Amino acid sequence: MNTKELMNLQDGRKLEVIYNSGDLTSAVIFHHGTPSDANLWNSWLTFLESKGIGAISFSRAGYGNSHRQLGRTVVSVNEDVQELIKRFGVERFVAVGWSGGGPHAIANTLLRKCKGALTLAGVGAYGVSDLNFLEGMGEENEIEFGAAVAGASELTKWMDTNAVDFAKVTAEDLKQALGGLISQPDKDLLFDSYANEMAATFQSALEHGYWGWFDDDMAFVQNWGFELSEVERPVELWQGDQDLMVPHAHGIWLEKHVPNAKLVFKPGEGHLSLGENSKEEISKAIVAMLERS
């Protein structure tokens, strides 16, 4: 059974956390995508608990019930994770990040108790010479990140126009709302319980405003706050070739620049289908990483 908690942080902010009843001394820490929140991982927490694995998810600053952290960068997440692992007595963990959570999971490898990271369709860096960040993305992402690059004022205008629809999206609206960002393998998932859960996560993530989404976008088009060359822990980069949100090129770029990285290529998978269709295989990879000395 999963438990939700609003955790007090040392700087006065609140952090929304969900955890299962597994042994959290050796745990998985989940980083959600953009936009999303801790609820995204509910089914994963339950799935891992059935295998005896402790797991924790949390809403990044500004999402759901987590308070905003002004000016945060990608690596800023480590401050919150440090407090989280102390609160739950975590002695070793593997960080797992989906999409926009990917860079945050990789950042966690700089923490002493992190044994490695696994990303699902994790986004690469913006503004580097050897990655065309927007190439292969749906038009919606091109416009959104174009606004972020133009600065806070333009991104605020974009959010004011677009975020409200996601804050009230229903399961029936999802395919239309996601538009050109989902390929056929992803569309095939958007029915029944999966669509209901995803719509509910968008709603809860944006219930108190779009600032988590805004801050993510601004963090992605700036320096992440650490160098990938600093990463010493193993990193697995899971990626499909039918992904219109984070194209395959991002995984290839990350494998090139992250030391000890391994690209796990899953032909025929999209942005959403990747994790859902490979859950058993991914859980085995997580366990193997946790058990490394």
Q: Are 103 and 132 in contact (CB under 8 A)?
A: no
Q: What's the pLDDT band for 235 if we cut at 50, 70, 90?
A: very high
Dump pLDDT digits (tens) for 102-111. Answer: 999 999 999 9
The tens digit of pLDDT for each residue in 169-190 reads: 999 999 999 999 999 999 999 9
Average pLDDT over residues 149-173: 95
Q: How far apart are CA 158 and CA 143, in angstroms?
A: 9
CATH number of residue 220's parent domain: 3.40.50.1820
Which residues are bridge partners to 115 per DSSP?
none
pTM, full prediction: 0.97
Structure tokens at 252: 């290839």
Q: Rounded distance, CA 263 to CA 198, Å?
A: 26
The string of pLDDT tens digits covering residues 52-65 is 999 999 999 999 99
Q: What pLDDT, on a 0 to 100 scale, did the predictor assign at position 292?
A: 84
Q: Which domain holds residue 16?
A: 3-290
What is residue 19's three-state secondary structure?
A: strand
Q: What is the mean pLDDT of residues 191-206?
A: 96
Query: What integer best gives the mean pLDDT of the chain?
Result: 97
Percent of the chain with pLDDT over 90: 95
Picking from 67-81, 91-105, 175-189, which range would have the lowest pLDDT averaged per residue? 175-189
Closest CA to 264 of 279, 280, 282, 246: 282
State how many domains the chain has: 1
The predicted structure's pLDDT at residue 293: 62
Question: Rounded CA gap, 15 and 46, in Å?
Answer: 21
Cis, bond preceding 259 (omega within 30 deg of 0): no
Considering only CA atoms, which of 128, 89, 80 is closest in space to residue 107?
A: 80
